Amino acid sequence: MPSITKTAHFTCSAFVTALSVGVMGFSMSTEWAQTSMECASGGSGFFNGTAVITLELFAGNLNRSFCPLFGSIDSFKVIPKLIEIGATPVALHAIVLCLLALCLLFSAGSILLGLYNSVSNPYETYMGPMGVYVCSSLSACLSVVVLVVFLVNVSVTDLAEDLVETFSGSIAVDLKNKTSKMRLGYYLIIPYTVLSIAALALIYMYDHAAYKHRQEQQRPTEDAPKEIMMY
């Protein structure tokens, strides 16, 4: 059976990782970004309209005012609409979803390994602390990549402009002054990253202390008193 110290560290690590999964689950169910633009119809150059796009990971809505005609609110499914738009936005969005799925997968692995190590003493293989290191570090790193890729897709590509044009039908629209704001779902990935690192740190603290203890138990003979070495 593992020591109380080991059980406590690995159990706490599993709990912290489970908490991070809950944070990410809520993040994936709420708004990630909102983009606003000024709008003019028919190439008139008179920008008296606005378009506001609110994006979640799987759904979104477009709130238009005189863009190109009177106001309306249109809801849409993100993935089918991005497929309609073109290759780059849908590819980046698919990367975000795949990375989030991998984050959850590695977090699940970290939880299982943490619980397994809290009740047993596996060898120093991927089933021991090394496995938690790998799973938690990959979760943290991939979540940072998610933040970067999603920000690029919303702010750098023409995703928002193309969405407005698909809802405008045959009427041409001119768009300018695009401003994007990240919403709660996007920012919740940051505490997920922090919690993943915290879970890793808990295991490192135990592993480092265990290593020092092993070193103390295996002192070289030259450090022993001369009286003992005589025998």
- Strand-pairing partners, residue 41, are 173
What backbone torsions phi and psi does residue 75 show, to the nearest 5 degrees?
-100, 150
Tens of pLDDT along the chain (231 residues) come to: 578 888 899 999 999 999 999 999 999 999 999 999 988 876 666 778 889 999 999 999 999 888 877 778 889 999 999 998 878 899 999 999 999 999 999 999 999 999 998 888 887 778 888 999 999 999 999 999 999 999 999 999 888 888 888 887 777 788 888 899 999 999 999 999 999 999 999 998 887 776 666 666 666 544 555 444 333
Residue 205: C-alpha distances to residues 168, 202, 209 (Å)? 57, 5, 6
Greatest extent of the chain over all pairs of C-alpha atoms, in Å = 101
Per-domain residue ranges for the chain? 4-31+77-169+184-205
Instruction: State pTM to two decimals.
Output: 0.86
